[in-house]
Amino acid sequence: MPSHPVPPPFPPAATEGAPPAWRQVALPAPPPERPRYLQATIDDIGTPLAEVTFVVVDLETTGGSPKDSAITEIGAVKVRGGQVLGEFQTLVDPGREIPPYISVLTGITSMMVAAAPRIDSVLPAFLEFARGTVLVAHNAPFDLGFLRAACEETGTPWPMSASVDTAVLARRLLTRDEVPNCKLGTLAPFFSTSTQPCHRALDDARATVDVLHGLFERLGPLGVTSLEELTGLTRQVDPQRRRKRHLAEHVPSGPGVYLFRGPRDEPLYVGTSNDLRTRVRSYFSAGEQRSRMTEMIALAERIEALPCAHDLEAAVRELRLIAEHKPRYNRRSRFPERALWIRLTDEVFPRLSVVRRVRPGAGVFLGPFPDRRAADAAVAAVHESLPLRQCTTRLSLTVLGTACALAGMGRCGAPCTGAQSREDYAPIAAVFAAAVACDPHDLVAPLLDRVERLAGEGRYEDAAVLRDRVAVLVRAVRRRQRLESLATVPEFVIARPDGGGGWQLSVVRRGRLVAAGVAERGRSVRGHLADLRATAETPVGPDGELAASVDETELVLRWMEKPGTRLVDVTGTLASRTPGTGQYSDFLARVDAGRAERDPFADNRSLSTRAQPDRVTPGQRAARAGGGRGSGRAAARRGRVATGLASPA
């Protein structure tokens, strides 16, 4: 057959007796056209932000927790592509009286919400308004937490939708040089919002809309143009951190202490956990967002794990390692030697002084205090109650001096001039010593009477200042007496169930944990305890004094007071001083409640901005955006276009 695949249209005539010079054959049909695969752009991945409908919501409530508070107002703004589509606002009857401090903060009174609908009728309308949208809030856990609690209370199903927290988003995108923190009141003037936040729901929601749009302008130049990239922005894991996940491979499970060590094998950070492996692995996931930890992980070269018998031993070892090595990335308990004490000096006419060390036999010591401010507050409270001398000179019975202004005010007996004898001065100092030892009534009762008198006279600010000073003083006395209760016990053993039929054992001597172990199910507790005592540490120091740091002794105290703890054995007397500070428990509870009422919506999360915030990997368009005159304005323009806040024209 000829080489060409298709026969000629007019074949020549065949010669008689000769085979045909050609024949027609059926050729297979041509294969179908193969599908074409095109490279997708970033706009094709996920939902573009310009097409997403957001509902920015803000709530006003009667308190800071949905467990004991209720919603008083809901305000929401629906936006898409930079355009406002609708607004939602209503007052809500919380079913209870609105506290006065809330009314002062928000301007919403019980009279205003008396005729308002209840949350069970408001909630369906709001959920319909927000159906199919992405919820946005500033400090989203607060607002969404109240909404979820309201849905659970009314039996309404909570819609599983995406959410955006503008506070966390601002923390990722803004630097400390631009704003000192990421509170709404700070971000509003930075972005020049059209509405200033004023603790009313709709106004705060409108301000949050402008803040959200201002943050969107920062997203475009970084290549973040889709909803999926936006919601994953706060969960992004730094590639350098991800590459170090192999450091956690050898870490075992169970309670213990872990140490991140640096290039010179120096401890960078010390932590503790009931599950070492899970906790250490979390440092290399998106759940760890602390900037200090990101910097620490970048320096870490290896991780050392120290398994422990139970959580008390792990917590004690953590304190000791932090105090010994003082890792640069640990903030708490690094300098236990910096604790302050109030000392009643041991001299002819004792006085109060603030010191850093407790020396046995050098006077009466009260504390410790975390800082100088707390110590000064306690000293001021004592001076308000007792006419102790406040001069710093050492007085003599023979050499007399001149009186100071306090003597003329009646706040000092002027022992420096001989107007007050040693016998007259001693009972005054004895009141302070008795308060530290067992009974603070004679020291505290005059102060509380004065607080009531100031409040009755309408001097509320003076009464609040004195009340806070008394609270600091009472807490210091309680802390000192609790520490003394363990310092005088030569040895005792406590046990807690381990959850598997065994017992977690701890041997404590003069407030120091000297041995720890676990008696598994089926093993003799007494036999295991004998082994622990044989290998236990022998503390040094004089009898009757603490053999451990204050933080360690308080850890032991808290472990003892947990439900289910058993006292196995004790040598000596383990008892609390009487009457002690138990009579002032209600007073301290009222002070704590009053402090919470001052700022019931305080956000305890770390929302401070970073010196160098984490950045997402820029897309291809963002990579071409840098350089050139006016590149900053061009980048912002591209950001507005990419997120739908401006037209491409």
Catalytic amino acids?
A: 199
Instruction: For residue 213, report the phi and psi dihedrals to the nearest 5 degrees.
Output: -65, -35
Please enumerate in sequence order all residues whose Cβ is within 8 A of that of 165, keeping only pairs 6 or more positions apart, or say none.
136, 137, 138, 139, 140, 141, 234
Q: Classify residue 70 by burial, with Cβ atoms within 10 Å: 0-12, 13-18, 19+.
A: buried
Q: Which residues of 262-274 are buried (b: 16+ CB within 10 A; e: fewer)?
A: beeeebbbbbbbe
CA distance to 8, 123, 305, 528, per residue, from 497 (Å): 98, 45, 24, 15
Please enumerate in sequence order all residues whose Cβ is within 8 A of that of 77, keeping only pairs 6 or more positions apart, or say none.
55, 56, 84, 86, 87, 88, 202, 205, 206, 208, 209
- How far apart are the C-alpha atoms of 350 and 436, rounded to whole Å? 15
- How far apart are the C-alpha atoms of 557 and 580, rounded to whole Å? 16
Contact (Cβ atoms closer than 8 angstroms) between residue 625 and residue 633: no
Contact (Cβ atoms closer than 8 angstroms) between residue 47 and residue 227: yes
- How far apart are the C-alpha atoms of 213 and 230, rounded to whole Å? 13
Cis status, amide bond into 579, omega within 30 of 0: yes
Q: Report the sign of the C-alpha dihedral through residues 30, 31, 33, 37, in that order.
A: negative
CA 580 to chain centre: 33
Q: Tell me if residue 452 falls in helix, strand or coil.
A: helix
